[in-house]
Amino acid sequence: MTDLPDAVAAAAHDPLVITLLIFALGGLLTHLLFRKQPLGRAVARVIFLIALTIVLLRAGVVPYEARYLAPTSFQVAVHGTLKIAWWLLAAWFLVGVLRAFVVTEHRPREGKLVQDLLAGVIYLAAVFAIIAYVFDLPIQGLLATSGAIAIILGLALQSTLADVFSGIVLTFSRPYRPGDWISIDGSTDGRVIEMNWRATHVLTVNRDLAIVPNSAIARAKILNASSPSGTHGMTVTIQLDAKTPPGAAGEILERAMLNSRLILATPPSSIIVKSITASSTEFDITFFVEELAQASRAQNELFDLIFRHLAASGVELAATQSQPYSPLQTAASQRAANGPERALNLVEIFATLTAEERQSLAPKLKQRTYDRGETLVDPGMVLHSLFIIGAGVLSVTSVVSEGGIELMRLGPGDHFGEIGLLTGAAATAKISALVPTTVYELTKDDLAPVLEARPPVAQELCRALARRQAAGQLIPSPAIDKTISANRVASWFADRLHRLFDLTSSK
């Protein structure tokens, strides 16, 4: 106890004790003054490291030597604290230099991973240096002990470590990136929204979040639908009645694919005759869409278009074993064997007509045929009839100064000319044939008796036109776009029909 005053006096005159106090105060002030200025904190730390190095060396304290010249235990503790601070600041400085100069511009994610791994090694080396040069402990025994501990931890964390190392491998190999559409073993399909060291987060097509461990992905078969491009291909199978020659049936299927704007022209689609029997011909249809997200919608649209094109051509699907060939079905189809009747059967607005009414209306349709590339409607033309597509594919294009912008494609069962018929407005788009096409014209005089005799047809026509207008499937009409609200389009069509055809309102 008698040596305490002398120890305090000696410590008060030790420059390293004063340095420790100054550094503690300086660190506190730096934290308060540069809390939101990371650059200022970095400059202050560099200054502290340089000043601490000079002070330690002038006092004869070498940070990488495990010896102390201080006379008291308190001063030894102060010297050890300053040496620990020096090693930590030195490690921080090396990590900063590493992050500044070890940069991978073209692969930032991999560069960040390398920086983190090297930073971990630097801080671990600083910890071992502190143990060896500050606490003067043999690191050989510590390494042996830590090795045994590492083995125990490795066994306990085997699955987690497998995920981490698999994440490192996936980060460098990059089989996919955030935003890519992938399929993992055919069981998990969706878009990658996040990748980390442990797992990959996939947003499935059902809008569910699937978190897949990286170790499972490393062992799985990965299909990247977004690489090398976002184009996605798919194949559907169609079986047609064997009475239709495969060549003619293949041409009808090609028109159905051409009718869909979701199906890409490049890469080209293909139709392969897979098999042919006495009762059916089987086709494999391969086509491509811009991305996997459009696959289901494109497939549904293609099936609908195939049905319409087959029905318009009088071609039937193959009968299944559960629904064998029936002469009655063939007789029913023969009754609608001519083109006008088949076209009317596909038109939505005439769905409420009876078969006899459609048969009586069919002879009034005037047939027009157009070759590939021929123009049916030019901008500025006024159409006074309803035109129904019986076969083929039409392209509706908006003509602008930079060229044409395709708005939609029309196929069997679609119609145009209704806006000009109701409003007298000129067409604002160009309509041309992509393949040889048959169109049927139904004039106002021929349509009026149908609407007068069957008011539901007029109502359905108004509702169908309103739906098509809302879906952007009508040639744009300035009269509608500028003056009619979306929820009043059906009423607007009904008013026009009543005034044009002098119909009696019916409830």
Q: Each residue of 293-337: pLDDT tens digit?
A: 788 899 999 999 999 999 999 999 988 665 554 544 444 444 446
Residue 506 has a pLDDT of: 44
**Contact of 261 with 244, CB cutoff 8 Å:** no
Cis peptide before 267 (omega within 30 of 0): yes
355-368 pLDDT tens trace:
888 888 899 999 99
- Arithmetic mean of pLDDT, 440-463: 81
CATH T-level fold of 348-501: Jelly Rolls (2.60.120)
Whole-prediction pTM:
0.64
pLDDT at residue 122 greater than cutoff 90 = no
| Whole-number Å distance between alpha carbons of 191 and 226 | 9
Q: Count of CB atoms within 10 A of residue 225's CB?
A: 22
In CATH, the number for domain 232-332 is 3.30.70.100
What pLDDT is recorded for position 489?
Answer: 64
What tokens were used for 379? 């901008």
User: Any idea what DSSP says for residue 446?
Assistant: H
Q: Apex CA 160: angle with CA 185 and CA 204, to 5°?
A: 35
- Mean per-residue pLDDT, 137-163: 60
* Element spanning 323, H or E: none
Indicate if the alpha-carbon torsion angle 255, 260, 264, 269 is positive or negative. Answer: negative
Residues 391-429: pLDDT tens digits?
A: 999 999 987 766 678 888 999 999 888 877 777 778 888
Helix (H, G, I), strand (E, B) or coil at 189: strand
Average pLDDT over residues 117-121: 77
Return the exposure string of 360-376: e unless at least 16 CB atoms fall within 10 Å of the residue's CB, then b: ebbebbeeeebeeeeeb
Does 153 score more than 60 pLDDT?
Answer: no
CA dihedral of residues 309, 312, 313, 317 (deg, nearest 10): 60
Residue burial 472-484, b: 16+ Cβ < 10 Å; e: rest: ebbbbbeebeeeb
Q: Where are the domains of the chain?
A: 4-153, 173-224, 232-332, 348-501
CA atoms within a 13 Å half-sphere pointing along the CA-CB vector of 265: 4
pLDDT tens across 65-92, in order? 766 665 667 767 777 787 888 888 888 8
Q: Which CATH class is domain 173-224?
A: mainly beta
Question: For residue 413, what are its two tokens?
Answer: 């069962």
- Give 75's Cβ-side CA count (13 Å radius): 21
